[in-house]
Structure 1
Amino acid sequence: MTKQLKYLLIIPLWSLFLFVDAQETQNTSYIRQEVMIRMRDGIKLHTIIHRPAAILEKLPFLLSRTPYGADQFIAPDKNDYVGPMAKEGYIFVNQDIRGRYKSEGKYVMMRPAHPKGSKEIDESTDAYDTIDWLLKNIENNNGKAGMYGISYDGWTAIMGTVKPHPALVAVSEQASPADMYMGDDFHHNGAFRLSYGFEYVFSQEAAKTDTTFSFPVYDTYDWYLKLGPLSNINEKYIHHKLPTWNNFVQHPDYDAFWQKQAVANQLDTSHVHVMNVAGWWDQEDFYGPLKIYETLENKGAGKKNTIVIGPWNHGQWAYWAGDQLGNIKFGSPTSDKFRTEIQAPWFAYHLKGKGEGRFPKAITYQTGSNAWKTYSEWPVSEVTPKNIYFHAGGKLSFETATQAEGSYASYLSDPSHPVPYRPRPIEATFQKGSRWSSWLAEDQRFVKDRPDVLSFETEPLLTDITVSGKILANLYAATSGTDADWIVKLIDVYPEGYKAEPKMGGYELIVASEILRGRYRNGFEQSKAIPANKVELYPIDLHQMNHVFKKGHKIMVQVQSSWFPLYDRNPQRFVPNIFKTREGDYQKATHKIYTSKQYPSSITLPIVKE
């Protein structure tokens, strides 16, 4: 942290900014300029420009576009996030997007891009018009521009590549959302992210500047439980005044509304070089950068497309050392490495022609071994997919399930007593002192003994097992209800006698996890009731990892059917639209997870060949 830091605010969904008193930006080698830039439709966008006081060469632009207030950006040479680049010398530009803070126009959350040739405005056209204005009006520029940003700012950056200005050379989208229904902030696989979705939408749409919902209790678990059905949000609190919440209600399935927003349906390859940045424990947008990278790969981006994945939560690489996340220590300042050895050289080469430009296709931090790895492809192909099977008695092993057809483990899922997603009390997501940012690294023993959470684990490993790439859960399950949520967590269990750090003895660390709303087992465009008491296969994408389960550790899988209040409660009785549920729709249900030869529940792990 810089000495000029007054306090750090983690802004809801997708952005990090430093708030400072006016006098705190005086002792800087950068000159600040404030302008209103006219877009093609006449709307003016509020823009802050920082230029080095002493310009010894023509410089490129580095543009970041935000819904969180451009005024809040610290002078570049006082800002940890861009400090290494500030020493190199750039013209830094920060802009309020339409309808936010000091910019004119109407704010539309995640405004989709329009087809090429369209006369309609979007974030891509606004980026184009901004760059065009800068080139023509700011002296001593070298004719090149880059864009960068974290979360929403990362999304506006990647939107700049949809219809890019010829001068836009390099974009670093960092923790950008890619699909708000399939895997980012508002839904995962059809399951609605209740606390995050409600609190973020309120913060963005209740006023033109950020605001927070005032909870009457400290533990929001209680508030959300007493809230009752989702329909009470509109009926009791926001009264149909928040556009995005209304969209949730009107579009419960993966229809054209959500598909149009999805980055994969908007992106194409261009002349722009893209660096995608993700964190293994990103509690908001881990899915996004992986999906954007994959989309560009599939469209032939080739050497113009690269990915960096570190041991971080959402945006941790921006201002912190990155040597620790919660109780998990990494032994080196991983965020410092990103800022100085990855981000700064990458932009310097593409925008200023400095260096040799020999950047790996993929740079990922391998957790467990605590080492950076570079690859010529991602995911790596030199792996062997291998299933690790659930067995009776809570056992987990690579041996094929041999139990008889009726072998299963069961639990009673009660919507009136949902499993908390992190230890209580669950503070409001964005309030001071909230543990939201590190909940994915919490010790999972806090739910291990709940009767509605199943745990399967191996014996202590006799050798290291390295897993690198895509992970898939193959869950054979049945329910007495007609809908259900299935949550699978892949966990690294530390040895009880952990000499390196005794307090970590027995620690249960999530290394991959995901939820699937059962009504979408056959596709997300249309929900379908689950036949009661019928065994079905639920494939659940656990995304990617690069992790070493060390010798002496154990591999664990936990299965549960609620993660509250991060995800709304499944009524467990099928209703066409969960946002319109009523109190009487909620019911208890018995869920069975099968462990038999006929129905062999398992996790497919990509194991690195020795």
Structure 2
Amino acid sequence: MKVFFTKKLFFIMLSLAVNTLFAQPVKPDDKYNRQEVMIPMRDGIKLHTVIYTPKNQTEKLPFLLERTPYGVNERPSPEKQTYIKDMADDGYIFVFQDIRGRYLSEGTFEMQRFNRDKSNPKAIDEASDTYDTIEWLLKNIADNNGKAGIYGISYDGWTAIIAATDPHPALKAVSEQATPADMFMNDDFHHNGAFRLSYGFEYSVLTEAAKTDSLYNFHEYDVYNWYLNLGALSNINQKYAHNTLPTWNNFIAHPNYDSFWQKQALAYRLDHPRTAIQHVSGYWDQEDMVGPQTAYKVLEKQDKDSQNFIVLGPWRHGGWAGGEGKSLGNIKFDDQATATYFRKEIQAKWFAWYLKGKGDGKFAEAISFQTGSNQWKSYSAWPPKEAVEKNIYFHADGKLSFDKPTTTETKTFDSYVSDPSKPVPYRARPVEETYGPGSRWYFWLTEDQRFVDNRPDVLTWQTDTLTEDVTITGNVLAKLYAATTGTDADWVVKLIDVYPKEYKKEPKMAGYELMIADDVFRGRFRTSFTNPSPIIPNKVEEYTIDLHAADHVFKKGHRIMVQVQSTWFPVIDRNPQKYVPNIFEAKESDYQSATQKVYHSVNFASSIVLPVVQ
């Protein structure tokens, strides 16, 4: 989620990626008229709302809403916002709203507010606030056609999908883009129970230290050092936050997957599509890559009217909202303007059909940009039914192969020492503040993984040079057989495309190690995320780790690589490697080194399960 630095710095390329200058109240060349209103909600609270209507409106038009915690007062006229320009050129009534408790809206902000008690007519949640807003707009804004749509990225994507849980009858189309779906399992604050430290702390400060966005002052550029010197997580409140950040306090109070996290999750809130819904996900989204996939999956189970769609592209968080999308970090897509294509050919046409009846209404169930081949693909289901699971196995001497281990292999495991005092950085240092000036946060998932190649606490396996293309389309899993001398452990698994040592197409990319799928799993949750338990030292256990969706071609001449490690710092907090009931309350003395073993034997055949398409 998240995107603004402060009022003075532009919405950081993303969440909403409106990539122009700060808006001034209506300019002579603006194509839309602007008005500000305070719209009353059912409990009497008023929400600050900016409404843009076309100056030369010749027909009744639908509403397009965006509801955000990031401030709306400085938005330019819609045709000057790259993200929505194609729709602005087509003509809509655009509505931008500060959600309650943020910027100029009244009320109290609550992170991912829980569902209201519907037995109380004045109870509120984000769905009711959207409902009340649409009701007011229909009655008070002239020349509307009685239809509304809602869209948004990140937190704004979450407000969009929540609106769909209890929609106003006029709400006909919802495009949630990069919504979080489950803050303990996959999105901003945790991955498989492992806490996202730097992001969780910095985002809590950003949204809760003041009503308008502000950054924490670390007093040093490389925050890797700050987080390492922080020591135990308990020092955040003792030395810095002093119990003033509600979200951080919730992290401490809810270290496991209890009802607090479960009731926030979209699986708890969603049942079936009540209106047309488009889910948009980026394969290299550093914040909410899994959320849209989860939301799509949950709704697809009850999609009897074919109203549930998904779009997946080669983007960072919200990368489709600005620019052309011909590259991401060092990775290029053969001059394919993926972001431009999404905005014009997918997003604009989708809303035009559902809100205006323009076009033929024929949309693929799933649209994906396949990397490696660098072309758009359409599928009748997601994941595609034609994909076949195929295991690629770890072997001795760093070999990776589609062949299973045999009894002739005498070495049955590889090992390393994981030392919490020397954690593996998740990206090449310096690690800039997440939303600070010059931060490479936005592209870190595409960074060259060679920066950890020589570390003794990172294991690597790779195939021989591929003699033919290997295409994977669908969900990737890791099946890891591992043991530790500790009583808790993190397992980070990365599936990597290794470029040829000589790469004439782009010499500087020779040997590049590009992550295609990756994630972390906290060992204490291997049998239950609700009721964690200590790991038995030196016992081999199986860890099934969801590495999420990919649509990628490992090209002939490349290699497939897998890396395994136990720290990914500071995006993931350091596991003490000694089991404690609540890591947020661990003491300095609880942090200890441990020897980790990853097995590749006949009986314990660690592998990556690939969805291979022939």
- State the TM-score, normalizing by the size of structure 1: 0.97
Q: Is the 8 A contact 1:113 1:159 kept in 2?
A: no
Of the three residues 458, 465, 470, the one matched with 1:465 is: 470
Partner of 1:340: 344
Q: Any idea what the Cα deviations from partners look like across 1:242-297, whole Å, max 9, x if unmatched?
A: 10100000000000000000011101224310000000000000010000000100
Partner Cα distance (2:316, 2:26) in 1: 28
Of the three residues 310, 313, 319, the one matched with 1:310 is: 313
Q: Is the 8 A contact 1:101 1:209 kept in 2?
A: yes
**Shift of residue 407 of structure 1?**
1.0
Q: Any idea what the Cα deviations from partners look like across 1:58-97, whole Å, max 9, x if unmatched?
A: 0000000000001132210111100000011000000000
- Find the residue that maps to 2:346 and give its secondary structure: helix
Is 2:372 the partner of 1:368? Answer: yes
Partner of 1:445: 450
Partner Cα distance (2:473, 2:117) in 1: 37
Partner of 2:288: 285
CA 452–24 in structure 1, closer or farther in 2 if over 3 Å, else same: farther
**Shift of residue 576 of structure 1?**
0.2
The code of the aligned residue for 1:432 comes to P
Q: Is the 8 A contact 1:478 1:591 kept in 2?
A: yes
Partner of 2:572: 567
Q: CA RMSD in A?
A: 1.4
The code of the aligned residue for 1:442 comes to E
- How much identity, in percent, do the aligned residues show? 60
Structure 2: any 5+ residue segments left out of the alignment?
1-7
Partner Cα distance (1:145, 1:212) in 2: 35
User: Would you identify which runs of 4 or more consecutive aligned residues in structure 1 move more than 4 Å?
Assistant: 23-26, 115-118, 403-406
Structure 1: any 5+ residue segments left out of the alignment?
1-5
Q: Any idea what the Cα deviations from partners look like across 1:193-241, whole Å, max 9, x if unmatched?
A: 0000000000100000001100111100000000000000000001001
The code of the aligned residue for 1:312 comes to W
Of the three residues 218, 221, 227, the one matched with 1:218 is: 221
- Find the residue that maps to 1:82 and give its secondary structure: helix
CA 418–156 in structure 1, closer or farther in 2 if over 3 Å, else same: same
Of the three residues 94, 117, 132, the one matched with 2:135 is: 132
- Find the residue that maps to 1:9 and give its secondary structure: coil
- Find the residue that maps to 1:233 and give its secondary structure: helix
The code of the aligned residue for 1:234 comes to N
Q: Is the 8 A contact 1:15 1:152 kept in 2?
A: no
Write the mapping of 1:329-478 to structure 2, written as runs, cut at 5 A.
329-330=332-333, 331-403=335-407, 407-478=412-483
Partner of 2:178: 175
Partner of 2:331: 328
Of the three residues 83, 93, 96, the one matched with 2:85 is: 83
Is 2:507 the partner of 1:499? Answer: no
Q: Is the 8 A contact 1:7 1:20 kept in 2?
A: no
266-275 or 386-395: bigger deviation: 266-275
Write the mapping of 1:576-587 to structure 2, written as runs, cut at 5 A.
576-587=581-592
Of the three residues 35, 38, 51, the one matched with 1:33 is: 35
Q: Any idea what the Cα deviations from partners look like across 1:325-354, whole Å, max 9, x if unmatched?
A: 011001211000000000001000000010
Q: Is the 8 A contact 1:224 1:565 kept in 2?
A: yes
Write the mapping of 1:43-58 to structure 2, written as runs, cut at 5 A.
43-58=45-60
Partner Cα distance (2:59, 2:399) in 1: 65
Partner of 1:3: none
Of the three residues 42, 49, 56, the one matched with 2:44 is: 42
**Shift of residue 298 of structure 1?**
1.3
Q: Any idea what the Cα deviations from partners look like across 1:469-527, whole Å, max 9, x if unmatched?
A: 11110000000000000000000000011110010000000000010000000010011
The code of the aligned residue for 1:418 comes to P
**Shift of residue 299 of structure 1?**
2.3
Q: Is the 8 A contact 1:571 1:587 kept in 2?
A: yes
Partner Cα distance (2:120, 2:380) in 1: 38
**Shift of residue 15 of structure 1?**
4.3
Write the mapping of 1:206-285 to structure 2, written as runs, cut at 5 A.
206-285=209-288
- Find the residue that maps to 2:320 and give its secondary structure: coil
CA 44–11 in structure 1, closer or farther in 2 if over 3 Å, else same: farther
**Shift of residue 300 of structure 1?**
2.5
CA 214–25 in structure 1, closer or farther in 2 if over 3 Å, else same: farther
Q: Is the 8 A contact 1:113 1:162 kept in 2?
A: no
The code of the aligned residue for 2:450 comes to R
Q: Is the 8 A contact 1:217 1:223 kept in 2?
A: yes
Of the three residues 553, 562, 586, the one matched with 2:558 is: 553
Q: Any idea what the Cα deviations from partners look like across 1:335-392, whole Å, max 9, x if unmatched?
A: 0000000000100000001011011101000010000001111110112211000000
Partner of 1:143: 146
Partner of 1:594: 599
CA 23–388 in structure 1, closer or farther in 2 if over 3 Å, else same: same
Partner Cα distance (1:302, 1:354) in 2: 20
Partner Cα distance (1:11, 1:104) in 2: 27
